[in-house]
Amino acid sequence: MAELYRPSLEDAEAICRQAGARLTRLRRQVMALLLAADGPVTAYELLDQLRAERSATPAGVYRSLDFLLAHGLAHRLDSRKAFVACAHPDHPHVSQFLICRRCGTAVEVEDDRISSVVGEWSRKLGFEVEAESLEVSGSCSSCRTGRAASEASSQP
Decide if 43 contacts 58 (C-beta within 8 A): yes
Residue 1: pLDDT band (50, 70, 90) is very low
In the prediction, which pLDDT does 133 show? 83
Residue 151: pLDDT band (50, 70, 90) is low
Query: 9-153 — its CATH code?
Result: 1.10.10.10
CA angle 44, 40, 106 (to 5 degrees): 170
For the whole model, what pTM was predicted?
0.82
Q: Is the pLDDT of residue 58 over 70?
A: yes
- State the Rg of the chain over Cα: 18
Higher-confidence position of 2 and 92: 92
Q: What is the dihedral of CA 45, 49, 51, 54, to 10 degrees?
A: -140
Going through the chain in order, the beta strands assigned E by DSSP cover 74-77, 82-85, 95-100, 106-109, 133-138
Of 92, 9, 72, 80, the C-alpha closest to 43 is 80
For 89-132, the pLDDT digits (tens) are 888 888 899 999 999 999 998 888 998 999 999 999 999 988 78
| Domain range summary for the chain, segments of one domain joined by + | 9-153
Mean residue pLDDT across the chain: 88
